[in-house]
Amino acid sequence: MLGTPQCPANIQKVIDNLIAEMRTHPANGQVADYIPALKNVDPDSVGIACCTLDGEVITAGDADKDFSVQSIAKIYSLVMAMTRSDDQLWERVRMEPSGQAFNSIVQLESENGIPRNPMINAGAIVISDIIVSRYSTPNHAFVQFVSRLCGRDPVLVDNTVFASEKKHGHRNAAMAHLMKDFGNIHGKVENVLEHYFYQCSLSLNCSDLARSLLFLANKGIQPTTGETAGEEVCTRVDCHRVNAILSTSGMYDQSGEFAFSVGLPAKSGVGGGIVAIVPNFGVIAVYSPRLNQFGNSHAGKWLITEFAQKLGLSVF
């Protein structure tokens, strides 16, 4: 790859320049505060990591700073649920964009408690219900799954964020109870929410995120060296499906605009992280906690957009 726009030395130069340019921009957006524990971060952190299929991680800025991954965890839980389910899963949660905010409840009643997709909160709560019913120790299984993919043992769940999620998660609780009433939550609502909040409270850094999701850029197989090298994390079909859902729903009600301007399957979290999958190339992960009005990292979205354009990365 040496000499091509995608060689590691060139990637390093591109991301160093982007971080330097980023720091000259006025700070836009607000740190999430609807879960109080999320407010306690440096609002001006900014980091980027790019992991290529050979496992090389190229970083700039605060790429090794841990942060709350929040909704990015919905990718791991979806893969865990898919590997222990058949296609009936897609009768309980659909694969359509919602066009609504990530925590919106409005469609749930008119659509009989079936969430539009697994990347909005309601959908991820159904996925949590599936995990709780398929794994004997769901929280442990989740941490183990992510730890193995990151090659970091064990990954950490931030207990302050976890407690804050539980205390302030009234909207998520309302959606879970509504879906229970429609028969689309099978377990005890309390247990399902507990697991959902646990997933959201996972702390990782950009390097971990990029490395752990390489299998999605490699048809379901984790390509790096180490414990998980060559392991099939999910089938090729499931890999295709996850990427399709990320392309249409991963950036909430900004997913259309993101596909239009970037063209990569991606997922954001209100902690300020975004990951983007580049099939047959690698994964980009960014962190910057100030969010735009859609709940997506302001600087993070800019970084991914610029990076993808400079390297000519798009699936379309």
Binding mask 263-282 for ligand GLN (x = CB under 6 A): ------xx------------
Shortest distance, position 134 Cβ to ligand GLN, whole Å: 21
256 contacts 97 by C-beta, under 8 angstroms: yes
Q: Which of 14, 41, 46, 74 is catalytic?
A: 74
Please tell me which residue in 14, 68, 71, 143 is annotated as part of the active site: 71
Among positions 107-126, residues that touch ligand GLN (CB under 6 A) are 121
Give the residue, chosen from 59, 70, 255, 297, that forms a contact with ligand GLN under the rule CB under 6 A: 70
287 is catalytic: no
Confirm or reject binding of residue 215 to ligand GLN (CB under 6 A).
no
The torsion angle over the Cα atoms of residues 53, 55, 58 and 59, rounded to 10 degrees, is 110
Instruction: Report the distance separating Cα 154 and Cα 17, nearest Å.
Output: 33
Identify whether 71 is a catalytic site residue. Answer: yes
Active-site annotation holds for 74:
yes
Helix (H) or strand (E) holding 52: strand 47-52
Does 200 interact with ligand GLN (rule: CB under 6 A)?
A: yes
Sketch the per residue contact string, 140 through 179, with ligand GLN: x for CB under 6 A, - otherwise: -------------------------x------x-------
157 included as an active-site residue:
no
Q: Where in 80-99 is the site for ligand GLN (CB under 6 A)?
A: none
Please report, as a single letter, which amino acid is at residue 202: L
- Containing H/E element for 260? helix 255-261
Cα–Cα dist 52/35, whole Å: 34
Establish whether 196 is a catalytic residue: yes
Per-residue exposure over 83-101, b if at least 16 CB sit within 10 Å of its own CB, e if not = eebeeebeebbbeebbebe
Question: Which residues, in sequence order, are bridge partners of residue 177?
Answer: none
Report, as residue numbers or ranges, the catalytic residues.
71, 74, 196, 252, 270
Contact positions toward ligand GLN, by CB under 6 A? Answer: 70-71, 102-103, 121, 165, 172, 200, 269-270, 295
